[in-house]
Each structure stands twice: as C-alpha cells, then as structure tokens.
C-alpha cells in the first residue's frame, strides 16, 4: 500500500489507502444491494475494477470495460476464466471477468438498446465528458434499462478535506493532496437534472460516509458516525449512489372530440283570439 504522504494520482491507488478503503467497502455493498434483484441478459460496468459492482447480479453476460485513463495506453489483458475465452468475451454468472474490453466511454462498442444494466462507478468524474457519457449510456440501454452511478459528493466531508489540503499546499509545498487528482466532482442534484433531460427516472439516491475523514474506525462504512449522519444530515455524505431507469414515452391515443347533441325545437303556432275589440 502506498504511504499516506505519497502523492495520489489514480483513483484505483487511492482506494487502497486508509482513506479510500471505506469508500470501496460502502460502494461495493450498496451496489450489491441495488443489482441483486435486477434481471436481464447483459450487464456492463464501466471502469474501476477494484469495486466489483456486479458480484451479486445474476445476468448471463457481465462485462467490465476500462477507459484509456485506467489502462495508461496498454492493451487489456485476456480474462482468466476456467474455460477458454477470447479477449473481450463476457464471463459466465459464476466468475467476474478480468479487464478484457477497452473502449471510450463516450462511444461504447454495443448496439443501440442492447444493455439491461449499466454501472458507472466514478466514470463520469474521470471521463472528461460527463454529459456525452450519459448520452451514450442512454443510447445503449434498453427501454426500462437500469443505470447506477456513484460519485464523490462535492459538499461532503471528503471534498472539504480535499479543499483544506489544497489550501495547506499553499503554505507547505511538500504536502500531498488528500484525494486523487483529475476528477471533476458532480453534485447529485446536478446529476439528477441531467438524467431527467435524457428521459431517466430516478428511483433511489443513497449517501454514505458522513463522518469526518480520519483513519479511525468511525470512518468505516456503517460506523457510528456514518449511521448518525445518515439520520441527521443525509445529503452531506462523502459519496453517493444514484439509481435511475430509462423511460421511453409510448404513443398516446387521441380521442376525437365528443359532439354534443343539439335538438332543434319545432315552431309553435300561437292561437289568436278572433272577434276581439282590437280587430273591429
């Protein structure tokens, strides 16, 4: 494990530190709960192989795709499975595949409306084009397809600790930053607005790690501070999970306007009194 005083560049390396392990624990558990009862044929996780978001899912084909920022220009390794499998071939439901698919998250190598479940663990923050990545997710997902996004809350304790680290570096230049560089944190409210524009309906939002970022046991997932913060200040969690469903508006049947019946009244003859004084 890298020293806490060493510069942290990649998200994967940060998840191995004392600060990042609680994040990986919380996200792995939350993703397992969300995907356990989701059914379909194909599921894809974009990036972050250190967090197995599909371990509890039972879909037949499960893919792990890595972006260029995670591969560092290297070719993906072939998956190590019991049966011979070609590079990029999805694994069976009994084994989690090794990285075998390298692609651009804004141009996924899947047909339109072909994926039932898509998981983006911090993929939007490190993609560089968050909105383009979401549009591509909307393209490959089937109608009623499931989308799960995890990210760092810019209003959470970890983000505030990162800002303090940046300020401290102005005074002490050899101080390392607290979190990995290169990511753009997206607020949950902003993400929900983007999803609504793309015809996604948000099913659930979860926040985690509400305690102060220290190396003590209180920062562990589901620790005392985390449970108290989930009740008192839920929106200030350091990390979040958003679960959305792709909705496709169907055709509406337009009924013809109903005409109201109009009954014409027949003319009525008025009898006149004959032999009146007015006629004489």
Is the model more confident about 279 or about 64?
64
Residue 145 lies in a domain: yes
| Most confident by average pLDDT, 14-28, 30-44, 176-190, 256-270 | 30-44
Residue 261 lies in a domain: no
Q: In 95-223, where does DSSP find H-type helix?
A: 123-127, 130-140, 157-171, 188-197
State which residues form the domain around 67.
11-246
- Residue of 176, 152, 153, 174 lying closest to 164 (CA atoms): 176
Question: CB atoms < 10 A from the CB of 219, how many?
Answer: 23
The pLDDT value given to residue 19:
79
Q: Show Cβ contacts of residue 76 under 8 Å, excluding neighbours closer than 6 positions.
A: 66, 87, 88, 99, 100, 101, 102
Number of domains in the chain: 1
Of 13-22, 29-38, 39-48, 147-156, the poorest mean pLDDT is in 13-22
pLDDT digit string, tens, across residues 147-201: 999 999 998 877 777 777 777 666 555 555 567 777 788 999 999 999 999 999 9
Cα–Cα distance for residue pair 87/75, rounded to 1 Å:
10
Q: What is residue 165's three-state secondary structure? A: helix
Please provide residue 272's backbone torsions phi and psi, each rounded to the nearest 5 degrees: -105, 140
Residue 220 has pLDDT above 80, yes or no: no
Residue 26: DSSP 8-state: H
Tokens of 273: 């009194």
Residue 221 lies in a domain: yes
Mean pLDDT of 240-265: 75
The pLDDT value given to residue 135:
96
Residue 262 lies in a domain: no
Residue 166 lies in a domain: yes
pLDDT digit string, tens, across residues 111-154: 999 999 999 999 999 888 999 999 999 999 999 999 999 999 99
Mutual orientation of helices 188-197 and 130-140 as an angle, nearest 10°? 50
Cα–Cα distance for residue pair 59/50, rounded to 1 Å:
20
Residue 52 lies in a domain: yes
Residue 62 lies in a domain: yes
Q: Are 234 and 227 in contact (CB under 8 A)?
A: no
Return the percentage of the chain with pLDDT > 70, whole number.
63
Q: Are 60 and 93 in contact (CB under 8 A)?
A: yes
Residue 257 lies in a domain: no
First-to-last C-alpha distance (Å) of the chain: 127
Q: Domain of 171: which CATH number?
A: 3.40.50.150
Q: Are 118 and 46 in contact (CB under 8 A)?
A: yes
Q: Which helix (H) or strand (E) holds 34?
A: helix 21-35
pTM of structure = 0.75
């Amino acid at each position: 494990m890298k020293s806490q005083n060493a510069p942290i560049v990649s998200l994967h390396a940060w998840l191995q530190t004392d600060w990042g392990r609680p994040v990986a624990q919380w996200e792995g558990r939350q993703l397992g709960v969300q995907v356990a009862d989701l059914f379909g044929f194909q599921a894809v996780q974009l990036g972050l192989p250190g967090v197995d978001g599909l371990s509890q899912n039972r879909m037949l084909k499960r893919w792990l795709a890595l972006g260029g920022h995670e591969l560092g220009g290297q070719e993906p390794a072939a998956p190590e499975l019991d049966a011979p499998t070609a590079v990029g071939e999805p694994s069976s439901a009994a084994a989690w595949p090794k990285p075998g698919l390298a692609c651009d998250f804004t141009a996924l190598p899947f047909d339109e409306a072909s994926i039932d479940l898509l998981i983006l663990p911090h993929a939007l923050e490190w993609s560089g084009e968050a909105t383009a990545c979401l549009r591509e997710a909307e393209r490959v997902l089937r109608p009623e397809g499931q989308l799960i996004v995890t990210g760092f809350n810019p209003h959470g304790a970890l983000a505030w600790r990162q800002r303090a680290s940046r300020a401290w570096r102005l005074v002490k230049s050899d101080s390392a930053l607290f979190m990995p560089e290169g990511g753009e944190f997206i607020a949950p409210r902003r993400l929900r607005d983007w999803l609504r524009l793309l015809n996604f309906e948000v099913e659930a939002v979860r926040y985690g790690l509400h305690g102060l970022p220290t190396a003590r046991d209180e920062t562990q997932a589901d620790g005392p501070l985390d449970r108290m913060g989930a009740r008192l200040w839920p929106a200030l969690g350091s990390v979040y999970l958003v679960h959305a469903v792709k909705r496709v508006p169907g055709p509406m049947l337009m009924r013809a306007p109903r005409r109201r019946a109009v009954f014409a009244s027949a003319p009525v003859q008025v009898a006149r009194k004959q032999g009146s004084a007015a006629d004489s």
